[in-house]
Amino acid sequence: MTMQSDKERSTSLVEIARYIESHSDEPLTLSKLANKVKLTPSHLQRIFKAEFGVSPKAYQDAVRLRHFKQSLKQGDSVTDAIFSSGYGSVSRIYGEATRNIGMTPKSYRSGGAGEAITYAYKDTSLGLMAMAATAKGVCFVQFGNDEETLLKMLQEEFPKADLRSSPADSEAELNNWITALEQHISQGTARPDLPLDMRGTAFQMQVWKFLLSVREGDVLSYSELAKQIGKPKAFRAAASACGANRIGVLIPCHRVLRGDGSLGGYRWGLERKEALLEAENARRNDR
More confident residue, 199 or 279: 279
Average pLDDT, the chain: 81
Spatial contact of 56 and 48, defined as CB atoms under 8 Å apart: yes
Q: What is the pLDDT of residue 105?
A: 52
Eight-class DSSP state of 255 = G
Cβ proximity of 212 and 225 under 8 Å = no
Range(s) for CATH 1.10.10.10 in the chain?
Answer: 202-286
Q: What percent of the chain has pLDDT over 90?
A: 33
Of these ranges, 16-25, 45-54, 241-250, the one predicted with the greatest mean pLDDT is: 241-250
Q: What percent of the chain has pLDDT over 70?
A: 78
Q: Is 253 part of the annotated catalytic residue set?
A: yes
Predicted confidence at residue 178, as pLDDT, reads 93
pLDDT for residue 118 is more than 80: yes
Q: Which one from 138, 253, 256, 279 is the annotated catalytic residue? A: 253
**Is pTM beyond 0.75 here?**
no
Instruction: Tell me the HSE value of 286 on the side-chain side, using a 13 A CA sphere.
Output: 9
In this prediction, residue 203 carries a pLDDT of 85
In this prediction, residue 101 carries a pLDDT of 47
Taking only the tens place, the pLDDT of each residue in 219-264 is 999 999 999 999 898 888 999 999 999 999 999 999 999 988 888 8
Residue ranges, CATH 1.10.10.60, the chain: 6-109
Handedness of CA 152, 157, 159, 162 (dihedral sign): negative
Confidence label for 106 from pLDDT (cuts 50, 70 and 90): low
Instruction: Kindly compute the dihedral angle of the four CA atoms of residues 257, 259, 261, 262, in this order, to the nearest 10 degrees.
Output: -70
pLDDT of residue 78: 47
249: left (phi over 0), alpha (psi -120 to 50) or beta: left
In 3D, which of 247, 170, 165, 160 has the Cα closest to residue 204? 247
Give residue 2's identity as a one-letter amino acid code.
T
**Does residue 108 or residue 256 have the better pLDDT?**
256
Residue 82 has pLDDT above 90, yes or no: no
6-109, what's its fold?
Answer: Arc Repressor Mutant, subunit A (1.10.10)
Reported as a pLDDT band with limits 50, 70 and 90, residue 94 is very low
Sign of the CA dihedral running 182, 185, 186, 191: positive
Region 138-167: mean pLDDT is: 90
Predicted pLDDT at 181: 95
pLDDT at 56 over 90: no
CATH, range 116-187: 3.30.160.70
Compare 91 and 173 and report the one with higher pLDDT. 173
For CATH 3.30.160.70, the residue range(s) in the chain are 116-187
Min mean pLDDT across 21-25, 47-51, 67-71, 163-167 is at 67-71
Higher pLDDT among residues 237 and 21, named by residue: 237
pLDDT at 193: 87
- pLDDT per position as a tens digit, 159-206: 888 898 876 445 668 888 999 999 999 999 888 888 898 888 778 888
3-state SS assignment for residue 169: coil
Q: What is the pLDDT of residue 97?
A: 47
> Does position 125 have pLDDT exceeding 80, yes or no?
yes
202-286: CATH topology:
Arc Repressor Mutant, subunit A (1.10.10)
